[in-house]
Structure 1
């Protein structure tokens, strides 16, 4: 599309960033599709399912390959509609359709903001081609306030798509869809779109320091909030969903501190271990008669040793256990870069970077705590539910591949303290801005997940665990389980007003109101008309009677007798003289 003032193209580019995303999307997507062949074989809507899944992957590929933001937006909307179709796949259940609508509506808020940002950039530069935008930026032709506003709109779009504060509650509800859908949304598509958008436009965001600082703060708050929420959940899939939100918070924190390479690296490793965890959870739940409450499981390592090993590999990578998991290397890359981050809008003495590092380290501890809480309760406690069947080979092959990637997929990028291996950043042709790090930073990042495992074992792993289910009577626990009141806030601000309008429309209240006003106006008009008619009739009758009486009186006075006329003259003269004499 080309006009005199604007140009946009359906154009694609293959560079190191898009190639990394293509490999993640296609490899993880293929393994999930392979798993789903056996998982969904008895579903009557299997053709619709695989059609939506394939379109999902295709839309994500359009998004990551686009060299023009107009083309990127097409893929962006494509993953949104596919997520709606897949979350609501079992549409006979109203809960599933409600979850699909919720995801669709909440992400549409971000899409609207993103469209506003694109329109603002288009009107400023006359193009949405990424290279043109960056060239215009480097030439200083974009005003700082315009750039800040546009990137803020784009950030809102990324936050909604990646389920960050305040848009986080749609993602746990998206667990209503089939397990392969959950794995695809959380690992390779949809939620990673927001990360990719900011990483692709990192030069644009770097030129807006206010937006960068806001991005890092939101990421830190989200990772902490989601980790605390996961710690009190009892549904296995919802625990994994909140862990996705927390890990995405790490990526936004890295993006906000300018280390987009670390965000992409963690995106890649997260895709491996989160797909593994969801697919393992799906196989486990299927063999437990679709039981998802972790406190109704237990002792599964005796009957599901293969699934136990796979889930343990994914959980270890999620927790970031040192040296043996991919999650350790990607998370360490983020932690080490945050410590030395610089925020231009703050005075040099304000330790925001150190505060964010402390939050990220605490989040790493909580991540290890809640995921190994699952491990000990689900696999090593007293058995409570009988398992049936076995895991089919077609489902086991993807789990084995993802287990390998979860454990060893991170060795392509290692800290210099361990080994000078930087294959990932060299492939991106973008080395980290902060290469050197103190040894104690590495030790702190390695100690936090180990401490989480130890405390989880003390609380839930021993033969007589100190704690079973976290009590739900406390207000803070109830609020955390319910998503920190965000759903109630959205219901008050958006849902209830629309429901009121629907009620008005359904009961035709507006028509009744308009009809009632019309009837009242007609009644008032009739009353006024009747009153006017009676008043005029009465007035004319009285006037006629008065005139008749006056006429009769004058007729009697004008009788033609001169003596009467003389008498009236004399009487009038006397009255005039009297009025003149009497003061």
Structure 2
């Protein structure tokens, strides 16, 4: 069963990718949707067996790498953490596959798209079921490759190609750190197997290694390198710039990759490696600080974006920051709980946005929308559900997980915990504001594009049914699983899949924080919604007036804190200049000039001079023979005796 969960999407990707021309559009859709839906149903069975039945297991498939002391097996680690991730990955992937049947109805390359979706699903499943670091790295790079293919699916668009390359290159920076971390793990522990490394981690705490002239803490160094990989994959500052540009891909791609699966890989990795991070206090503080800043930073940018998908993309970036600072204060179960609930309501918002874009004939600018609630009522209600969950309104899924994160940060009772609580609370206000700014600009007020408005229509059932499935998760995931995943008996649910050191008491104390801390996130959400209502319903002149009076700040936020411009000035342009210098000067003039081009040019020049000797006149040849005979006789008399 467990092997089927992982490999069915791969089989479907191969069949649709290689034989899509013979199967046709509908055949490819049936194969891929059927395989992923089957994997999702089996994942639910596995969840009950592993989590409820307390039967975690490891499925050994085969020996993968045997080189001296390095022995790496290909095995599936099916524990409680994996079971939760299987639910997230396969359920969201299944609804996205079905949704894509309707959304991509007019695309001429449906088999290729469905094959890419299934390939991505397989790579993500390999990542979450990995039993060692190298196997995880295989899945890690697999989702990077599949995301490149999906983001650049519409390759006729230069913007899509640029976005795909940007995502690939920025992730390479983080992945290089992740690879160094894996090398370091093998150097320190002599193994890359999770069980071996995690068991030996307490004995490695506090030990150092000598590097250049410094004695460096082993565990902090390894965890920081691993976290660098997580920063790239999960779009944390400063490796976040690829995520908004990735919205150039089709909307189902945004929902699958950038809401529920690929971008949460970093959070999953930190939780999986909790036995290591618990022995690295400095690295944990870095995780919390980076996550807290990212949560606030991304929320500020989301305030002023006008592309409906980019608003949700920055929301994703912000919510990932919440997950990381929860993990940074040792509340790993809370971080994964928010990952779990976030998957449903964020995928709902992305697919709901896709329904809006479908209704508006691929228009994505919210300034050209308005009044759509009367045209697409079902999408309107479903987007409200997703936004209520995102804003943390009682009693939707986000209310339970986001509140638990903020309470955990407060309960940490540390400097970085207080910083995370402040940043998280500020981000909660901004999140509620931009969520309802999206709702009000899109669905309320007067239509701004009457042509598109008159032609707007509700999406077909094949697109709406997946939204209802996700809406059920956005409503129920919190209230059903909050007690099990983050309650006082959280260890019964997670077993040994997540480790929290005995001296870290956050999971025991966050339930007992003061009442004002529990109410603060709800108050923040209400405040954000009220301000959005005032600015976009009551008095629509306010936003333009604020932007005009604070133009430098507005430009600063609209241009995303100028990170792209900074990177372009500091990294991209110097790299281009260096590349051009090495290409024209090094490769062209030096290597080719002195090498093959120089040799060939010399041969040609000599040949041309020799050719000049062939005149065709007999007396020239006779004279040359006479000179030759004279030279021979001279040589004979000079050295012949």
CA–CA separation in structure 1 for the residues paired with 2:105 and 2:278: 48
One of 254, 264, 276 as aligned partner of 1:192: 264
Unaligned runs of 5+ in 1: 344-350, 519-583
One of 437, 462, 465 as aligned partner of 1:397: 465
Look up the SS of the partner of 1:9 in the other structure. Answer: strand
| Change over 3 Å in CA distance of 1:470–1:502 after alignment to 2 | farther
One of 74, 80, 86 as aligned partner of 1:10: 74
Q: Does 1:314 align with 2:386?
A: yes
* Residue 495 of structure 1: aligned partner: 572
CA–CA separation in structure 1 for the residues paired with 2:109 and 2:79: 38
* Residue 19 of structure 1: aligned partner: 83
* Residue 528 of structure 2: aligned partner: 452
* Residue 417 of structure 2: aligned partner: 353
CA–CA separation in structure 2 for the residues paired with 1:423 and 1:460: 44
One of 220, 223, 231 as aligned partner of 2:292: 220
1:329·1:413 contact (CA, 8 Å) conserved in 2? Answer: no
Give a deviation string over 1:98-141, Cα, whole Å, max 9, x none. Answer: 00000000001111110001001101111111110011113348
CA–CA separation in structure 2 for the residues paired with 1:424 and 1:33: 33
* Residue 296 of structure 1: aligned partner: 368
One of 192, 208, 232 as aligned partner of 1:160: 232
Q: Does 1:409 align with 2:481?
A: no
CA–CA separation in structure 2 for the residues paired with 1:114 and 1:322: 38
One of 414, 424, 434 as aligned partner of 1:370: 434
Q: Does 1:51 align with 2:122?
A: no
Look up the SS of the partner of 1:10 in the other structure. Answer: strand
- Compute the displacement of 1:384 (Å): 1.4
- Compute the displacement of 1:193 (Å): 0.5
* Residue 346 of structure 1: aligned partner: none
Q: Does 1:471 align with 2:535?
A: no
CA–CA separation in structure 1 for the residues paired with 2:446 and 2:314: 26
Larger radius of gyration: 1
- Compute the displacement of 1:352 (Å): 3.6
CA–CA separation in structure 1 for the residues paired with 2:357 and 2:473: 23
Q: Does 1:121 align with 2:121?
A: no
The alignment covers a number of residue pairs equal to 508
Taking the TM superposition and a 5 Å limit, the aligned residue runs for 1:157-306 are 157-306=229-378
1:294·1:377 contact (CA, 8 Å) conserved in 2? Answer: yes
* Residue 400 of structure 2: aligned partner: 329
CA–CA separation in structure 2 for the residues paired with 1:234 and 1:143: 51
Look up the SS of the partner of 1:7 in the other structure. Answer: strand
1:338·1:357 contact (CA, 8 Å) conserved in 2? Answer: yes
Q: Does 1:340 align with 2:411?
A: yes
Taking the TM superposition and a 5 Å limit, the aligned residue runs for 1:517-532 are none
| Change over 3 Å in CA distance of 1:374–1:35 after alignment to 2 | same
| Change over 3 Å in CA distance of 1:308–1:500 after alignment to 2 | same
Look up the SS of the partner of 1:484 in the other structure. Answer: helix
CA–CA separation in structure 2 for the residues paired with 1:408 and 1:468: 38
Give a deviation string over 1:40-69, Cα, whole Å, max 9, x none. Answer: 122111111111110101111110011111
- Compute the displacement of 1:382 (Å): 1.2
Look up the SS of the partner of 1:411 in the other structure. Answer: helix
CA–CA separation in structure 2 for the residues paired with 1:235 and 1:515: 48
- Compute the displacement of 1:405 (Å): 1.1
1:333·1:415 contact (CA, 8 Å) conserved in 2? Answer: no
| Change over 3 Å in CA distance of 1:322–1:465 after alignment to 2 | farther
Give a deviation string over 1:142-193, Cα, whole Å, max 9, x none. Answer: 8251211111110100001000000111000000000000000122221010
CA–CA separation in structure 2 for the residues paired with 1:391 and 1:287: 7
The TM-score with structure 1 as length reference comes to 0.83
CA–CA separation in structure 1 for the residues paired with 2:191 and 2:157: 45
Unaligned runs of 5+ in 2: 1-64, 209-216, 501-506, 596-641
